[in-house]
Chains A and B, each alone.
Chain A
Amino acid sequence: MHPRGHARRILPGFHLSLGITVTALSCIVLIPLAALVAKSASTGVGTFVEIATSPRTLAALRLSFGAALLAAMVNAVFGLLIAWILVRYDFPGRRLVDAIVDLPFAMPTAVAGIALAAIYAPNGIVGAVLDPYGIRVAYTPLGVAVALVFIGLPFVVRSVQPVLEELESELEEAAALLGANRLRVIWTVLLPPLLPALITGFVLAFARGVGEYGSVIFIAGNVPLVSEIAPLLIVIRLEQFDYAGAAVVGVLMLVLSFVLILGLNLFHASFRRSIGNG
């Protein structure tokens, strides 16, 4: 018999649980998003296109998505490293480091933003070191990326860590015994099985960064066309009671995020299949 045939499922309660799932998903995600799209549609096509293609909107979207992408890439590298350290080595304070990784999850984002701005401002601890070299972090687009690295880090670590724990270190030892140098061990033995988890963490960190408002607002400078993020544009439109205009920017971000995340997930899936077959 075909494993996915139309016969009775062995697990009971499919219809009930699917019903609950769809209802919950509708209440929490689908209906609000539909309302957002409906609101933005109330502006008419002309206004929609005008807002969507205005230089300020484009600059803000470029900054939000660019900084989130950069931050997710930084996190992919350092998050992997942190996960590796936490899994493979035992050192005093390991559990403490393990707990600290989760802090960006728990901390109010405003607190994170203010702390980062204080540290990276030209008179802050780190900012004072960078300032003589002409590197300004706080109140520049670079500051946006720094804030997004902060809030995105746990996503990568927590995605990669369990997979790495499952991966036996004997594999690496065997590769080394067979004469592979360290770089080759990382490249051909370690990375391929980790890649799906790494991509998941990357996508989560990226998605979180695109929509982040609370922490970024304190470190960004918020100058239009330079350091103004797209979520701030939404808030600005709300402040002038332009709910529909705010919805337009919201829908743009939604569509862009959805396309990017869907693309990454599809890539992820095809990659998994190719690993499975190979």
Chain B
Amino acid sequence: MTAFCTKRLLDQALAVLALMFCFAVVAGVARAQQDVELLNVSYDPTRELYREVNAAFIADWKARSGQTAAIRLSHGGSGAQARTVIDGLAADVVTLALAGDIDAIAQRSGKIPLNWQTRLPFNSAPYTSTIVLLVRKGNPKGIKDWGDLAKPGVGVVTPNPKTSGGARWNYLAAWAWGQKAFGGDDTKVRDFIAAIFRNVIVLDTGARGSTTTFAQRNIGDALIAWENEAFLVLEEFGADKFEIVTPSLSILAEPPVTLVDGNVERKRTRAVAQAYLEFLYTPAAQALIAKHFYRPRFQQHARAEDLARFKALELVTVDGAFGGWAKAQPQHFGDGGTFDQLYKPAR
């Protein structure tokens, strides 16, 4: 009896070993096929864009260097992604929602030089976007511009600026409109922003969460969203259900990209990582960028019908209207900043 049991155990152990050997062989083959691996840590709505850009880059890099590259992607809220890199995630490149998050990595981990934004053209942002309003078909609440979001009875959906990079652009876009509308009267701007946030029904932690709440759960009358995300909603849920309202004024969102020097030095991937970021400025990538609803830096490379979707509007920059992220971040989104002050209960 015991001998029988021992034999069975042995058989099972052998089977497990054989299985492990098979896995090891398969994994080894897969490894041998790729010469270099990059990790791109990005923010939420870029999934579709980078999936296509990566495929194009891998082909391009193979042709140029003979190396087979593999690119892994990590997505999440921009601030949370920055934090994982600070805490040690071995990202070769970061492609985040706003410069403030990359500044944080530079300051807190020292893995990126402080002047990172001057290393690539256009403030290291190969594409731009802006903030628009998404409303339900027929625009039943008659929302035409930022001012309409502050009216009583309008339900607004936006993510929390504390946890979402996109939401910070939303907030600053509304603020910039208020500054112009109220002739720079700070108190009136604050009241206006407070009125909008009193209308906010759901404050999700990320841009994708807000999109789901608005489009799938049918909550609210207006979604403040990335332009690319708004177009994606039309594509996913059907243009017969929603409309994009382009406000009279919005913000020029520049989602920047950069190398994480500390990590590429250690992993010896600087050349390919640098090539990956420079690839974003090439005609092929710029066309993909326009296809995925981001505004390309070089319009001549994009298809005309892709460009025709972007409405012209007045755009202010963070540097021009808010003195850059280094100033805007603590003033509006830091502890006790203007956003926190909105949620002081009435005494």
Contact = CB atoms under 8 A, between A and B. Distances in A.
B249 to A, nearest CB: 27
Contacts of A217: 205
Contact of B201 (A123, A223, A240): A223
A236 B163 contact: yes
A239 B77 contact: yes
A24 interface: no
B202 interface: yes
Contacts of A118: 216-217
A67 B202 CA distance: 18
6 A-B pairs closest in CB distance:
A121-B217, A224-B343, A123-B218, A239-B79, A236-B162, A222-B203
Main secondary structure of the interface of B (DSSP, over half): loop
Which of A121, A228, A238, A239 has its CB near the most chain B CB atoms (within 10 A)?
A239
Interface of A: 55-56, 117-118, 121-124, 138-139, 217-218, 221-225, 228, 232, 235-236, 238-242, 245
Main secondary structure of the interface of A (DSSP, over half): loop
Contacts of A122: 217-219
B345 interface: yes
B218 A121 contact: yes
B88 to A, nearest CB: 14
Contact of A139 (B201, B205, B333): B201
B345 A242 contact: no
B162 A56 contact: no
B81 to A, nearest CB: 10
B111 to A, nearest CB: 15
A238 B203 contact: no
A223 B162 CA distance: 12
Contacts of B200: 223
Given A123-B217, A217-B205, A241-B108, A222 B160 contact: yes
A138 B217 contact: yes
Contacts of A228: 203
B334 interface: yes
Contact of B335 (A138, A218, A225, A242): A242
Nearest to B209: A218
Contacts of A238: 83
Contacts of A223: 200-203
B83 A241 contact: yes
Given A122-B217, A225-B343, A239-B163, 10 more contacts: A55-B345, A118-B217, A122-B218, A124-B217, A139-B202, A221-B201, A222-B204, A223-B200, A224-B203, A235-B163
A221 B201 CA distance: 7
